[in-house]
Each structure stands twice: as structure tokens, then as C-alpha cells.
A and B are shown apart, each in its own frame.
Chain A
């Protein structure tokens, strides 16, 4: 199995898409970071909702680090591409000739996806960490990596990026058409998830969706004025994401991957 996972990583790193994704992820993370540095400590005029904490406030660092989780969309896209480009370029034929036990191919891709997600998360955290800590120090605040849930958030970022890569692979195995899978994944992540997350009446359902799982993983329950959201415990969020990925992969394995390759 490790040989198959290595082969999957080789497939990804011998094409160019991965670093394009990495750069776009870092740009988005950087943009987010820019805004929360620029507006740190700002209180909205009407005073109804609490604004961003100040740079000296320990909770600001939590918030800054959690920006790393915006990379989930990119690891998901990469996961979708890892799976669907096999069908798009018909390399799946060669893949299944080399490894005729198709379930093992999907399993190896899930394994490789986790590793890629970890890599992306580490890069994102290092960039965010360096920038955020610098900002805090310049503002004269103090930094403590052990306090204020910094480790938990870091783990949350790592886990969510890795799990979203798995999620993307499962989704791609199920919807073999690359464009359809990408549209499906992105619409889901940006439209449907945010509807469920934003509308309080739907939050009871939203916590069972992948986005709810990510939030649970981070446990960022900073009050945004909409009231406490009802999230699962962190471990529950992780299980939920693994569950989705495995569910998709298993369903795909029973359906789409069984199909004739002609």
C-alpha cells in the first residue's frame, strides 16, 4: 500500500497543478490575514456586534491562525483533481492495469490526499504564524503558543485541510466528471454550507455537514452576534469529515469504480 501511496504522490508532484493550488491558497490566506490585521481592534459604529479583537488580545492570534482553515477549499479541489484527472485524461486505464484491484487505488489516493493536506496545512500555518506573530510583536503584544488554544487551532487547521483532501477524493470518485465534481464541491462549500452555517434555524443540520465538522474541529466559537452555534465536539467534527470521505469512497467503490473502462 505504501508503494501505491507513493505512486499517487508522484502522480501529483509530476504535474503542475499542485503548486498552482498552493500559491492560490497562500494568496487567499494572505488576503484574509491582511484584513484581520488591518481591522484588528475595530469596533463597528453601531456597536451591535463585537468587532475583531485587538492585536494585543490573545484571542486575535487564535483568529489569525484559524485563517489557515480557509485552505480547505484548495485541498478539496486538489483532491477532486487527483481523482477526476484520471478519468479526464483516461490515465485510469493504465492505473487499473497496474493495480487491478480498484479499491486499493482509491484507498491509496485517500492516503496520498491526507499527506498532501498535511503538507498544505503546514505551509499555511508557517506563513500565517510568521506573519501573525510579527504583527502581534510589532503591536507590542505578547505571544504564547501554549496558551489560548493555539495548539488546538493549529491541529484543527492541519486536520481540516487533510480531511478536505480526502473529502475531495471521495467526491471525485463518485462524480467522475472533473468539471461537475469541481462545481459540485465548490457550490457545496461556498453556497450550501454557508446557508446552513448562517441561518440559526438550520444550524442543527449544518453541524452535520462537512463545514460544520471543520468548525467543530477548530472550535472557534467566537461570538459573531448570531448566537452560539451548536457544534459537535472537535473529535466529532474530525470523525464526521473522515466519515464523509470514507462514505463517498465506499459508495464510489461499489458504483462508479466498478464500471467498465472502455
Chain B
């Protein structure tokens, strides 16, 4: 059974089409990154999945069911939402204990979960005094209480320090790859999830623009090799089957040949190459192209 299934989901807020006919699935044992710029509709999708927002059309299912019809939701789905809020006067431990009580879980799970997210020392402190990162960890602790097999996380890295982000990456991979959980994690920064996710779903202005594995996404942009030489090297390259683009005098962009082949070719033709470099199709660039953002980063370079 598909762990998470979103089928033709649509939701409008007044005139704003927050989510427009989005469909994708997340299988057990994988981490899927749900990417899109601000206001793309990520949060709205995830909240629909969790029964907090009623979609206008389509379905959002976990384990084949609507979240609201799950008998023991915390045992099936762990969720961390953006700007998760806590009562400032309540301690971290009490916050989780209340969830345990309501969900029929043993109260000891609260301390275990706090231990897991590295908050054991702050268990007895009021949440009002917590930093953003500590709140984020506490929210993650709440998601772990019922040992679920599905995780839905909305920008969980928000507010985490570099060590925290590192830890989170490892933790999400562990949940998916070692424990077989299905993890859906949203972010508007591709680089943040690049090292964690197996699959990517990209949304922009409420519409799904691309979905596939991380590798497929990078293949989208053709990879090229930059070759700098003063010699007239292009005919030889073209003869070998490459497509050559003359970027500027002395600089070629070669498609369809590996750097090693090019080097061999240069040796055979006794051509001096002053530079041979892979032009890796930058993931962030692909992302920006797909989401239709002005490519400000590139212009600045």
C-alpha cells in the first residue's frame, strides 16, 4: 500500500489557488523532498494530508485512508508543522505527556522521545523559554511518540543550527532507510534536502512542475564539459560525435563527451588544453528554472 498518496488535490483560499491539481505518492522506505518557493502551496498540501485543511477537490491519503478516519493517528503518522506552537507556560515533558494521554500511549514515551531529539536536559523547562531550534526538536519529539511509519514534516530544518541540520538529515535517512518509514519533508531550499532525499517533488504557484528521483532531476539539465584551448579543436570534437558550443574565443562547451575522452582526443591531435572542467548542471539552477523564479543568484555571479 502506498504510504502517502495525493490525488488531484486542489485548495483555494478566496481567489488564491494555493494548491492546484497536485498528485504524487511517497513509498515506504524513501525520503521525498517537497520543494517550492515561498507561497508555492507546500504547507497547504501537507495540512490537507493531515486533515487540518479540507481540500476543495481531490484526495490526500495516508495508508490509504483519510487522516481524520485513522483510529490511532499518532501511531501511524508523525507530523511536524511549520511554526508548531506550544503553550509557553507548559514544560516540554508535560506537552508530550498530554499527547501521550490523549493518544493512549504510555507516559514514558515522552521522556524517550525527548531523549531521541536531544532535549532530555530541557524536559522540565517551560517552552516559553525555548529557542526556535529547541521548539523544532520538541515538535519532532511529538512526531516520534507513537513510533509511526509515516512522517510528514514541514520545513523541519527551520531554526536548526548546522549541527542540528546535520543530525536531522541523518535521522530522516535512518527513519526511511533503516526503519522503512515513508518520509515527506518540505523545504524551499533545495540544498537543504539535497543530501537527504531520494525523490523530489517540485511545486510552484500551486502546480506540480516536476517529480522524480534526485538523479533524474539533475539529468534534466544536460551536463557539459568546458574546454579552454587556443587551437582549433572543435572539428575534431564534432568528428568524435560531440556537440560543440563556442562560448567565447578560446572557450568551448562540449556536450556528449566525457572529459577523459576529450583529453584523449586532445592528446591524439596534439592540442594543448589549458582547462578541462565538468560543468555540473547545478541543482539549484535547475530548481530555479523549474519554479520560474528570477535567476537572481546567477545574475549576481
Contacts and interface: CB of A to CB of B under 8 A. Distances in A.
Interface stretch (A96-104, A140-148, A165-173): A96-104
Per DSSP, chain B at the interface is mixed
Interface in A35-81: none
B73 interface: yes
A98 B73 contact: yes
Interface in A65-123: 85, 89-91, 93-101
A261 B13 CA distance: 12
Contacts of A101: 68
A14 B90 contact: yes
Contact of A10 (B44, B53, B94): B94
Interface stretch (A1-9, A206-214, A234-242): A1-9
B170 interface: no
A260 B102 contact: no
Nearest to B81: A93
Contacts of A14: 90-91, 94, 98
Interface in B81-111: 81, 83-91, 94, 97-99, 101-104
A3 B74 CA distance: 14
A98 B90 contact: no
Given A260-B52, A261-B47, A262-B47, A94 B94 contact: no
Contacts of B98: 7, 10-11, 14
Given A14-B94, A91-B86, A100 B44 contact: no
Interface string B230-247: 000000000000000000
A4 B102 contact: yes
A10 B97 contact: yes
B101 A15 contact: no
A10 B100 CA distance: 11
**Most chain B beta carbons < 10 A, residue from A6, A93, A98, A260:** A98
A144 to B, nearest CB: 44
A101 B91 CA distance: 26
Interface residues of A, number: 27
A14 B127 CA distance: 12
B142 interface: yes
A94 B84 contact: yes
Contacts, number: 81
B151 interface: no
Contacts of A17: 89
B295 interface: no
Nearest to B102: A7
A15 B98 CA distance: 12
A17 B90 CA distance: 11
Interface size class of B (residues with CB under 8 A): 35 or more
B287 interface: no
Contact of B73 (A7, A91, A97): A97
A15 B53 contact: no
Contacts of B74: 97-98
A124 B85 CA distance: 35
A91 B127 CA distance: 12
A90 B85 contact: yes
B114 to A, nearest CB: 15
Nearest to B88: A89
A93 B84 contact: yes
A94 B92 CA distance: 14
Nearest to B54: A260
Contacts of B85: 89-91, 93-94
B99 A94 contact: yes
A262 B83 CA distance: 10
Nearest to B100: A7
B70 interface: yes
B11 to A, nearest CB: 9
Interface string A142-162: 000000000000000000000
Contact of A85 (B51, B83, B87): B87
A25 to B, nearest CB: 20
B208 interface: no
B67 interface: yes
A16 B85 CA distance: 18
Interface string A10-22: 1100111100000
B47 A97 contact: no
Interface in B1-51: 13, 43-44, 47, 50-51
A152 to B, nearest CB: 36
A100 B70 contact: yes
18 contacts: A7-B98, A7-B99, A14-B90, A14-B94, A85-B87, A89-B87, A93-B52, A93-B81, A94-B85, A94-B86, A95-B102, A97-B50, A97-B79, A98-B74, A98-B99, A100-B69, A100-B70, A262-B52
Given A3-B104, A262-B43, 7 more contacts: A7-B101, A15-B87, A90-B85, A94-B86, A98-B73, A98-B103, A261-B47
